[in-house]
Structures are given as structure tokens and as C-alpha cells.
Chains A and B, each alone.
Chain A
């Protein structure tokens, strides 16, 4: 294999392309790494393509994970999952999503519920 072939191959990678792969998170409400003043009653996950949530949890700080549900039965690009009543603190919502292409993708977002209800939502 000539090195020039290898280099030109790698260079070609930079030129063109279309992204269609496993579903990945595009955005969420609350946003990842955000601080909200009002505890959300649900989390909304928007994926790059239709996905089916097969499991989801919420964890406050170092406490045990709590399962979330019920989860939607059908794949969708936007998935809403109800949350339990949240106290001020830092939370991690994690999930498993099955993409259309058959791959199971793990994911998570972190957000904090602030102590002061007067402050508006902020992004970090």
C-alpha cells in the first residue's frame, strides 16, 4: 500500500458526507448542564432520528437511581417522559434508546433545580 494512497484516502474524508447513523440527542428540555428555577414535571428529549426509549432513570446526586415511566411504546424523534416531584439539587436523567438501525444507544443529561425560585432558567 503506497502511503500516498493512504493519505489521499484520509484527505477524502474531509470532503463530502451525509450524517445518518445511530439516533443521538439533539436537544432536551431542560437542557443539558442547565440550572432551572422551577422543577420540571417532565423531560423532553429530541433525537436526530426516531428512537424508542427502552429504559430511563433519574438520579439526584449520589442517591439511588429511580426508574422513569411509563415510556412511549413507539419510536419518535421527540420523547416526553414524566418526572417525579423534584427538590432543589443536581439531577442526572439517563436512558437507553433503540435507534431505527437496531443499535441501542445510552445517553444522559444533567441539570440542577435551584434553591431560589425567583431566578429564571440559565444555561451553562
Chain B
């Protein structure tokens, strides 16, 4: 039971951490284009960072229970000390990064944008302090690849709800400018998720035989979900985004539905990742 709860908390902590970090990136890159939605987007980022902090703390607290194989392990000081030694640094860095992101979203100035980007980089860097990349002999290449992979995921995930809010609150002209600016950058960046992901898999997966095991199945599930996400992103870029610019009500509705579908699919990918990294390894 504690394993299932741990997977749920891990997936939710991934979601809110990457969303908060992504909102900070969104504001740093596209903030100057916003008029009437900027405050709501900052509020979303602050809320995401706070909820992310709660899930990160809850997931961390549960590690001792996982070590004990029962919930009473949470109160075992010896196991909590062991958890602190093994994952304390990553936890601390996550908390620091999310706190900086939350702090940056309370202000509206250039310094706040820089603070948000620094907080994002720190929050994402926590992922290279645990797991395969922390102990792998080829850490020098795995760590930057994982950072790149996660920063682009944060950029993509973190833009979805801000684009949703902007499509509701901004004029059709501003919405179109924003969607076009995001699409131009995303077209270059998003394939980097796959490129970095494949490079990571090449380094971590020992042989093709892994694809006959749960780890490999989950990896292929992620690739299939990513292909579905790319389909939705293409639909937004070529059909629904332009309809939004025409002030077409049904087009706007379709655009927002598609953004929410992308959001749900990314959450499914993060949940698959949480299951994969909690229970399996590329043996």
C-alpha cells in the first residue's frame, strides 16, 4: 500500500514541480507579451510551487515507510536518518528550487524573472542527485542529458495552463501572437525531449532484452504516449491555434480542450515514469 501511495505522491510531485518551474520559464520567455493574464499565470505558478512543496515533502517522508515495508516506518528514526543520508540532498535542493520559484512569482520585475529561472534550474537539478544518474560511471553525460530532458518537459508542461488562461483572458491578437511565439520555440525544443530520452535509454538500457521486461514495456509506453502528444501539439499548431486567432469561439474551445488533453497525457507519462523508477530497473 505504501508503494502505491509513494508512486502517486511521486507522480504528483513531478507534475507540480515541473509545472511551477515551467510557469517561471513561460513568464521569463513570453511574459512581455502578456497583458491581462499575467497575474493569473503568476498565481498559478505560486500555487503550483506550494502544492509541489507539499507533495515533495510527503513523498520524502514516506521513504522510511517504504524501507520498512509498513507505514509505521515513518516513525522509525533510524530509517529516517537512512532516508536523510540517501535522499536528503535531493529533497533539500528540490525545496530550495521550488521556494525560489514561489518567491520569484510574488514580484514583477527583471530580477524576479532571473530568480524564477535560477529556481527552475535548481529544482530540476535535484533529479540528477538521485537515481541512475547519481551513481552511473557515465554521469558526466547522463546528468546534462537528464537536465535538458526535464527542462524541456517543464517548458512544455508549464506552458499549457498559461496558454489556456491567456486564450480566455487575452484579446485574439495577443493570444495568437503568444501561441505563435510558443509554437516557434516548441518546434525546436520539444524534439529534444525525445533525443535526450533516447540518448539516456541507450546509456541505461543494457540490451534489447529489456523490452521483454516491465521496464522496457513502460519505456515503450512512454514513447507511444509521446507520439500521441506530438499529434496533439501538431493539431494545436496547424489547426486549433490559427482558429483561435480568427476569434472563432469553437476554435478557441477546441484549442483549450486540446491543451487539457496534452496536460492529462503528460501527467500519464509522469505517472508511468514514477511507476518505472519506483519498481523496476533496466536489468
- Which residues of A come within 8 Å of B, CB atoms? 1, 5-6, 9-10, 12-22, 24, 48, 52, 54-55, 57, 94, 96, 98, 100-106
Partner of A6, one of B208, B227, B282: B227
Nearest 10 pairs of A and B residues by beta carbon: A19-B206, A54-B67, A21-B281, A22-B281, A9-B198, A102-B130, A102-B86, A14-B208, A104-B66, A1-B230
Q: How many A-B contacts are there with CB distance less than 8 Å?
A: 108
B87 within 8 Å of A by Cβ? Answer: yes
Given contacts A96-B66, A98-B82, A102-B87, whether A21 and B283 have CB atoms under 8 Å apart is yes
Q: Considering the chains assembled together, what is the distance between the CA atoms of A63 and B135 in angstroms? A: 39
- A98 and B281: CB pair below 8 A? no
- A105 and B206: CB pair below 8 A? no
A59 to chain B, nearest CB (A): 12
Closest B residue to A10 by beta carbon equals B223
Given contacts A6-B194, A57-B69, A96-B69, whether A17 and B281 have CB atoms under 8 Å apart is no
- Which residues of B come within 8 Å of A, CB atoms? 3, 63, 66-70, 73, 79, 82, 86-87, 90, 130-132, 134-138, 190-191, 194-195, 198, 201-208, 211, 220, 223, 227, 230, 277-283
Which chain A residues border B130 with CB–CB below 8 Å? 101-103
- A100 and B202: CB pair below 8 A? no
- A104 and B63: CB pair below 8 A? yes
A5 to chain B, nearest CB (A): 7
Which chain B residues border A24 with CB–CB below 8 Å? 281, 283
Closest A residue to B142 by beta carbon equals A20
Which chain B residues border A18 with CB–CB below 8 Å? 136-138, 203-204, 206
Which chain B residues border A54 with CB–CB below 8 Å? 67-68, 79, 82
